[in-house]
């Protein structure tokens, strides 16, 4: 080591000590960029609350979480990510909800030696050829819940589905995922506009198509609008969808029109294991509302991180990655493991919307796919 | 494709059109009379929906909810006019756009602060729920039929207001020559507040009526606002008649385009590609319509000023 670099290292350490102030020397810095304002804020808030609940329950005081709002805008997310990596020097990043934001942030973050733990978005690009040793998905690959819906349709003997989704990458993935598992024919296939709120035209076409089932992927407000309008139209065809239109945050806004609708999810509050029971109870006590699947994903993400920190330090890259890949934590979902592309292998359940007192919620009525990995793992090689 | 499906889609287009008209009427009045570009018009739509959801949740009455939506949006409109908009009439359009864009952000985060980040529940009342059978065997939701009737009634009311009342004369005069009517002793700033509140009330009514079949959430007004701007550009800025014709044109083009284009593409493509390409082109149709109208008539269909 030359004198110059020694001096530099010394001054860096001096600066570092000043900047860190009262935090521990061995503090792990976690950068969370998620959606906390605007129409999609409910999802980001749930992920954040679940994540912070797990951190608080762990009792560790050496994890410093820096939280920023991406406003659901890719350009903002990229700027925040640069800031986190360059000025805050984060070890681990997490938080992104939307696949288009994930594609803008994750590839460059993991290339700069930051570990990324995705609590929600799982675009196919990052599961297949674009997989990376520093990238872990703790939620699902995007197709998983749609594939489960296809498998469920087979089990019900549906042979003539009408399928629809918004015309954007995740929507196209959704229909691809459904068709990958579903064995019957199609009564119709429609792409709607992203953010569309009036489905009168689509419902008229469903009515005229003679379908025996309808599969739809319309997350958030789009799903609320579709389910209400479908119920009011008097069309009597069973609906199937992924959990994104039936999560705890939006079910109250749909109301009785959602009762009995079947949806697929990797989590529900009635999954019977001690971790989940404790999570549901403590989340409700802390925040005064029932947790959604997004909250469970945030909670699991934090617990995965905590489990890995107990074994290795982020500065020791290989050991830390191995500790994460082992997934040695108690998931709210029960059994949880990572596949070769570091995406989950897990059960996907079939749920049904029920009313429990005043509250609309889901209960599990079966398992659609057991120990389900993803289709893209074969294309991934580190 | 059956005739029934086509007829149902025409009704759907009409329904979308009259709801757009409620938004576009206020926007075009404010632009025509005061020369103001109001980007925050979508926020008033949202305020109407949230007020309706809150009152419907508390009282269970849909009629009370509609009245609350009208009152809340009109009050918010009047307040905004007095506090902010009034200072913008003599500024150029860029300043107006900046200020009203700031209002969008303030209203959105303010609403989120008051009502939380999760969508609210607002449903159609039982007496308007379910489908009715129309002549020819068309099953059509009763609520949507009611929306068409309410929209047409409001259009008629506005037409009478503008053409037959003293206030209407003042509004029309204000569009033509605002210095002159001020010189004739009309309280022009009072007139502006009334027009702004009227436009806001219509947007709030649209928000409440549409909110019952969609989701009541932060940011719900902005997509409608874009369509409303397309409508007033097609119809001609400042013209109520233009707003009505433009709304119905846009509503029908959007609905029928989404149905017919994928069908057309299916003649020579496979089904998946046809629906993807067809719906992509269908979502552009109204902008193509706008461009075509502007080429033929640069001031819009009923635009007066060159």
Q: What is the mean pLDDT of residues B41-66?
A: 95
Domain that holds residue A28: 24-142+272-346
Segment B63-108, tens digit of pLDDT: 999 999 999 999 999 999 999 998 998 889 899 999 999 999 999 9
Segment B209-268, tens digit of pLDDT: 999 998 898 888 988 999 999 999 999 988 889 999 999 999 999 999 888 888 888 888
**Together in a domain, A89 and A128:** yes
Locate B125 and state its tokens: 């009342």
Segment A248-298, tens digit of pLDDT: 888 988 889 999 999 999 999 999 999 999 999 999 999 999 999 999 999
pLDDT at B262: 83
Residue B190 reports pLDDT greater than 50 = yes
* Angle at which helices A144-155 and A169-181 cross, to 10°: 30
For chain B, the average pLDDT equals: 90
Residue A376 distance to chain B (closest CA, Å): 22
Residue of B131, B214, B262 with shortest CB distance to A197: B214
pLDDT band at A12 (very low <50, low <70, confident <90, very high): very low
Whether B215 has its CB under 8 Å from any CB of chain A: the answer is yes
CATH of residue A173? 3.40.50.2300
pLDDT at B294: 93
**Together in a domain, A262 and A278:** no
pLDDT at A39: 66
Locate A228 and state its tokens: 């209400």
Taking only residues 300 to 359 of chain A, the set having a beta carbon closer than 8 angstroms to any beta carbon of chain B reads: none
**Together in a domain, A304 and A250:** no
User: Considering only CA atoms, which of B33, B82, B54 is closest in space to residue B238?
Assistant: B33
Q: Give the containing element (helix H, strand E) for A169.
A: helix A169-181
pLDDT at B306: 45
Beta-carbon contacts below 8 Å between A and B: 128
- In a domain? residue A36: yes
3-state secondary structure of A116: strand
Q: Give the containing element (helix H, strand E) for A28.
A: strand A28-34
pLDDT band at B278 (very low <50, low <70, confident <90, very high): confident
pLDDT band at A13 (very low <50, low <70, confident <90, very high): very low
Whether A259 has its CB under 8 Å from any CB of chain B: the answer is no
For residue B140, the 8-state DSSP code is: E
Residue B124 reports pLDDT greater than 50 = yes
- In a domain? residue A246: yes
Residue B304 reports pLDDT greater than 70 = no
* Length of chain A as a residue count: 382
Contact assignment for B214 to A45 by CB distance below 8 Å:
no
pLDDT at B263: 82
- In a domain? residue A327: yes
Residue of A37, A167, A186 with shortest CB distance to B109: A37
Segment A221-231, tens digit of pLDDT: 888 899 999 99
Whether A207 has its CB under 8 Å from any CB of chain B: the answer is yes
**Together in a domain, A151 and A123:** no
- In a domain? residue A165: yes
Whether A232 has its CB under 8 Å from any CB of chain B: the answer is yes
Integer Cα distance of B241 and B172 in angstroms: 13
pLDDT at A260: 93
**DSSP per residue, A111-148:** HTT-EEEESS---HHHHTTT--TTEEESS--TTHHHHH
pLDDT band at A379 (very low <50, low <70, confident <90, very high): very high
pLDDT at A75: 94
**Together in a domain, A202 and A134:** no
Locate A268 and state its tokens: 């529900």
Cβ-contact A122, A140 below 8 angstroms: yes
Taking only residues 126 to 165 of chain B, the set having a beta carbon closer than 8 angstroms to any beta carbon of chain A reads: 129-131, 139, 141, 143-144
Taking only residues 76 to 135 of chain B, the set having a beta carbon closer than 8 angstroms to any beta carbon of chain A reads: 108-109, 112, 117-121, 123-124, 129-131
**Together in a domain, A162 and A239:** yes
Instruction: List, in order, residues 6 or more apart from B85 with CB less than 8 Å away.
Output: B34, B36, B38, B99, B100, B196
**Together in a domain, A105 and A83:** yes
| φ and ψ of A296, to 5 deg | -65, -35
Distances (CA, A) of A64 to A55, A306, B106, B165, B296: 10, 12, 31, 66, 62
- Spacing of C-alpha B259 from chain mean position: 23
pLDDT at A4: 54
**Together in a domain, A101 and A185:** no
Segment A330-351, tens digit of pLDDT: 999 999 999 999 999 999 999 9
Q: What is the mean pLDDT of residues A62-86?
A: 94
- In a domain? residue A8: no
**Together in a domain, A123 and A28:** yes
Instruction: Please name the residue of chain B whose CA is at the shortest distance from the CA of residue A250.
Output: B119
pLDDT at A262: 95
* Length of chain B as a residue count: 306
- In a domain? residue A2: no
pLDDT at A150: 96
User: Considering only CA atoms, which of A68, A62, A109, A104 is closest in space to residue A89?
Assistant: A109
Contact assignment for A234 to B258 by CB distance below 8 Å:
no
Contact assignment for B219 to A45 by CB distance below 8 Å:
no
Residue A6 reports pLDDT greater than 50 = no
Residue of A208, A221, A232 with shortest CB distance to B119: A221
Percent of chain A whose predicted confidence (pLDDT) is above 70: 93
**Together in a domain, A370 and A357:** yes
Segment A168-182, tens digit of pLDDT: 878 888 999 999 999
- How would you classify residue A191: left for phi > 0, otherwise alpha for psi between -120 and 50, otherwise beta? beta
- In a domain? residue A251: yes
pLDDT band at B271 (very low <50, low <70, confident <90, very high): confident
Integer Cα distance of B43 and A307 in angstroms: 45
Contact assignment for B215 to A253 by CB distance below 8 Å:
yes
Instruction: Specify the number of domains making up chain A.
Output: 2
Q: What is the mean pLDDT of residues A206-225?
A: 91
**Together in a domain, A164 and A235:** yes
**Together in a domain, A47 and A185:** no
For chain A, the average pLDDT equals: 90
Residues in chain B with CB shorter than 8 Å from the CB of A192 are 279
């Amino acid at each position: 080591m030359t004198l110059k670099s020694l001096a530099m290292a010394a001054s860096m350490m001096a600066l570092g000590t000043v900047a860190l102030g009262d935090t521990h020397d061995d503090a792990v810095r976690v950068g969370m960029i998620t959606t906390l304002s605007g129409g999609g804020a409910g999802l980001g808030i749930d992920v954040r609350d679940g994540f912070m609940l797990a951190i608080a329950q762990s009792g560790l005081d050496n994890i410093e979480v820096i939280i920023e709002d991406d406003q659901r805008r890719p350009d903002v997310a990229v700027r925040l990510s640069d800031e986190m990596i360059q000025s805050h020097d984060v070890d681990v990043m997490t938080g992104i909800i939307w696949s288009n934001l994930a594609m803008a942030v994750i590839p460059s973050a993991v290339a700069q030696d930051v570990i990324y733990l995705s609590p929600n978005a799982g675009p196919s690009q990052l599961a297949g050829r674009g997989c990376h040793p520093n990238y872990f998905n703790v939620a699902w690959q995007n197709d998983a819940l749609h594939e489960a819906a296809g498998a469920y349709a087979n089990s019900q003997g549906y042979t003539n589905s009408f399928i629809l989704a918004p015309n954007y990458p995740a929507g196209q993935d959704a229909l691809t995922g459904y068709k990958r598992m579903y064995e019957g024919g199609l009564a119709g296939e429609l792409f709607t506009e992203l953010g569309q709120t009036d489905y009168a035209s689509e419902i008229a076409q469903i009515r005229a198509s003679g379908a025996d089932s309808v599969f739809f992927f319309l997350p958030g407000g789009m799903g609320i609008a579709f389910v209400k309008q479908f119920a009011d139209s008097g069309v009597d065809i069973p609906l199937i969808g992924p959990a994104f239109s039936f999560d705890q945050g939006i079910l109250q806004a749909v109301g009785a029109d959602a009762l009995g609708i079947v949806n697929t999810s990797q989590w529900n509050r009635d999954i019977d294991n001690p971790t989940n029971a404790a999570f549901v109870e403590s989340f409700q006590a802390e925040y005064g509302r029932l947790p959604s699947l997004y909250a469970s994903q945030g909670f699991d993400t934090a617990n995965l991180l905590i489990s890995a920190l107990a074994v290795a330090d982020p500065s020791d890259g290989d050991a830390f990655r191995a500790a994460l890949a082992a997934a040695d934590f108690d998931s709210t979902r029960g059994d949880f493991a990572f596949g070769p592309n570091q995406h989950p292998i897990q059960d996907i359940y079939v749920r049904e919307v029920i009313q429990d007192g005043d509250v609309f919620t889901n209960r599990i009525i079966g398992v659609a796919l057991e120990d389900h990995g993803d289709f893209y793992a074969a294309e991934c090689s580190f | 494709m059956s005739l029934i499906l086509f007829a149902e889609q025409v009704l759907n287009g009409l329904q979308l059109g009259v709801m757009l008209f409620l938004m576009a009427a206020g926007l075009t009045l404010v632009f025509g009379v005061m020369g103001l570009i109001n980007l925050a018009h979508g926020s008033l739509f949202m305020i109407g929906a949230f007020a309706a959801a809150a009152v419907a949740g508390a009282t269970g009455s849909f009629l009370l909810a509609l009245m609350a939506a009208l009152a809340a949006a009109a009050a918010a409109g009047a307040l905004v006019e007095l506090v902010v908009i009034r200072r913008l009439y003599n500024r150029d359009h860029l300043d107006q756009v900046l200020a009203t864009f700031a209002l969008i952000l303030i209203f959105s985060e303010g609403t989120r602060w008051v009502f939380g980040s999760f969508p609210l529940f607002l449903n159609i009342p039982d007496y308007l729920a379910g489908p009715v059978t129309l002549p020819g065997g068309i099953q059509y939701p009763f609520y949507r039929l009611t929306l068409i009737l309410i929209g047409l009634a409001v259009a008629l009311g506005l037409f009478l207001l503008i053409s037959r009342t003293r206030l209407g004369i003042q509004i029309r005069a204000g569009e033509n020559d605002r210095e002159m009517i001020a010189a004739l002793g009309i309280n022009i700033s009072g007139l502006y507040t009334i027009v702004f509140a009227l436009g806001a009330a219509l947007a709030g009514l649209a928000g409440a009526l549409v909110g019952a079949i969609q989701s009541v959430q932060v940011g719900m007004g902005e997509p409608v606002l874009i369509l409303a701007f397309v409508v007033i550009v097609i119809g001609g800025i400042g013209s109520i008649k233009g707003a009505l014709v433009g709304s119905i044109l846009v509503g029908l083009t959007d609905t029928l385009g989404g149905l017919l284009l994928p069908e057309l593409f299916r003649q020579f493509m496979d089904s998946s590609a046809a629906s993807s390409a067809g719906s992509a082109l269908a979502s552009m149709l109204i902008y193509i319509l706008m461009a075509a109208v502007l080429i033929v008539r640069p001031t819009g269909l009923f635009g007066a000023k060159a």
